[in-house]
Amino acid sequence: MGHHCCNKQKVKRGLWSPEEDERLVKYVTAHGHSCWSAVPKHAGLQRCGKSCRLRWINYLRPDLKRGTFSEQEERTIIDVHRILGNRWAQIAKHLPGRTDNEVKNFWNSCIKKKLIAQGLDPKTHNLLPASKTLLHGNGPNPSNRAHQFHSNGAIANDGGAVAATTPPFTISSPTKAAAYDTVTVGPPPPQMAPAPAIYDVRNTAGMLMGHEHHDQQAAAGAEAIPGYPYTDNGGGVLMSFRDQNAGLQTSMDFMNVSSSSSSMDHAAGMPNGNGFSQAMGTAFMDVTPGMWSTTAVVERGMCAGIEVAQQQQQPLPPQGLVHGEVVARPIVMNGGAGAAADKGMDMVDVSSVYGGAGATAFDLELMESCGLFCGSGGGGSTGNAMEQLQWDC
């Protein structure tokens, strides 16, 4: 069955011959492709317009990069896929010269198998159940909240011990690696939240994160942890994002997966996708006073590469760090400005951590591509929560 657009025509199918390629390239180079349906006719090809378009986009475009994927490209694919899921076109935008088809094929033929071989679910990037059992020696356990993938590839379990396992893969982009100092530290202090994971909120537009204090007792009955004012199992953790450039503010309730925003557009500009949505749905803030170390427990749909470690105002004693934490280089702390300060919010200027707009093209593009909270299934039940988030705005 041919394309509906070319049912009436007798069109050739299958592999393209060099002659056909040449005709198409000549025509498109000379005349462009304002209307693909007209291209085969004018180029003298017995193909349908759709086929011509595909051939041009995937193989004949002059700006295409052919050949095997580099290690960095592979990392980028994994990182972005973790957040966006199977949105190949979006992923391909982060890889100049690569097409969605190429990325998709590479994923299916190579990366997917690697992840599975390493005990990771290629859909969610979580550890597969069998691997969790191996790591923890017991079945599903609520306390086993975080399987942490650190930038060095090590896995830390709840106890905070960084497993001395072979890194399943490198989860951080080179640019990220350059932005962090990795610190290996001892066991977390008692007041630390269980299973702190690390996430990364990067917004090259100059996002401000505000951690609003919610001191409600956990609905689940968990007691408030001393020195742990941001943990709120019941009421959720509200996280505010302010775009310094746009002057807009968005807040998110990590536990309840709701949000409010002064701007619909800005709310829609939040990072989205499976990784973020699922991770945020269970994010667990830990901003220990005086330490300024923010961690998050990320459970299902964990964004292994979404690491955020904030710095502290004072040089951080190693024992004050969350175990295995990746520590960002010093950034400017805004002790709470305007209404945020009035509300007792600790404002953290994240922007400088990442060097502002010049941080990495990847992150900027990623944030753009994450324009809507519209996770595409990705295997997570909380994907729609972010869709709901849009409606909540």
CB 65, min distance to DNA, A: 12
CA proximity to 158, closest of 360, 311, 330, 297 = 297
CB 37, min distance to DNA, A: 4
CA distances from 166 to 35, 65, 75, 186, 202 (A): 52, 32, 17, 20, 27
CB 294 within 8 A of CB 170: no
DSSP 308-362: -----SSPPPGGGSPTT-EEEPP--EE---HHHHHTT-EEEE-GGGGTGGGS-HH
Residue 35 is a binding residue for DNA (CB under 7 A): yes
CB 75 within 8 A of CB 171: yes
Helix (H) or strand (E) holding 44: none
The correct pick among 105, 133, 138, 184 for binding DNA (CB under 7 A) is: 105
And the tokens for 304?
């292994």
The rounded distance, in Å, linking the Cα atoms of 236 and 216 is 9
The correct pick among 25, 110, 161, 248 for binding DNA (CB under 7 A) is: 110
Looking at 1-9, 141-149, 230-238, 381-389, which segment touches DNA (CB under 7 A)? 1-9
CB 75, min distance to DNA, A: 17
Residues contacting DNA: total by CB under 7 A? 39
CA proximity to 157, closest of 144, 176, 172 = 144
Tell me which residue has tokens 């990072």: 271
Q: Which amino acid is at 357?
A: A
The correct pick among 26, 42, 113, 343 for binding DNA (CB under 7 A) is: 113
CB 81, min distance to DNA, A: 10
Looking at 95-103, 207-215, 223-231, 312-320, which segment touches DNA (CB under 7 A)? 95-103
CB 82, min distance to DNA, A: 15
Residue 101 is a binding residue for DNA (CB under 7 A): yes
Torsional sign, CA 57, 60, 66, 72: negative
Residue 104 is a binding residue for DNA (CB under 7 A): yes
Binding residues among 4-23 for DNA as defined by CB under 7 A: 5, 13-16
The correct pick among 9, 25, 37, 177 for binding DNA (CB under 7 A) is: 37
Looking at 34-42, 265-273, 276-284, 347-355, which segment touches DNA (CB under 7 A)? 34-42
Positions touching DNA (CB under 7 A) are 1-3, 5, 13-16, 33-37, 47, 49-51, 53-55, 57-59, 68, 86-90, 100-102, 104-106, 108-110, 113
